[in-house]
Structure 1
């Protein structure tokens, strides 16, 4: 009976061990997080990365959040109509991306695309140039439509 256990259990144990190693286990990093929403028509709320809430307030509010390596599924709410947004793209973070980083910022664009930026040390993340340009253009369009309504 003892030999039978060794003959059967050894291959089974090795196979399960290899499956565990090859499944691409994720590593968790705890970073200070924030988010930037570039659509001026609403304020995003409860921004989540893989179900973990991150900070917000256009970079003004931060939160310590658990971030795992691998695909980053991002969702957020829209305040004025209670709409739930799901990112159209799925950023992917590796351990090399996250090692040595202190801050993670999620950038929410009006077309539901997202971007993740990482900074190290005490360097707080900033709004992206593209995001500020998009936001400025949308604000100009909103101002123009307000002028037409007032006429």
Structure 2
């Protein structure tokens, strides 16, 4: 939140038992007050891919868990990744156990295209989980000469 934004107060009504559970949860997470926790919940809700415009440019991850023993599934997943190679920045593959693999795709592109990739992965036989998580990318924001140091820059 920028320093210039005006804070608006409003009331929320909820059952006593729900607010008690909520207060315990936010205390465990280290929040000092309800307001900041509600602001974070609101930000998170606004960042769900389903709440964004299909042509909006975003960056994020697709996290999937799958059974690599399912016939041709690893090959099918690799083919999909090649089909969407312009949207995939990086991948990480982790062997969870003898059967299951966890794979993380770091992605950037239009929400609609990334959602399409996630859905194509989710429906494959042997994929137990596939979730797209994104955040806004302001492609028109000036860089202000800001430079991120990377190990290869040294």
Greater relative contact order (CA < 8 Å, ≥ 6 in sequence): 2
Bigger radius of gyration among the two = 1
TM-score for the superposition, normalised by structure 2:
0.27
Using structure 1 for the length normalisation, give the TM-score: 0.28
Report the structure, 1 or 2, having the larger helix content.
2
More strand by share: 1
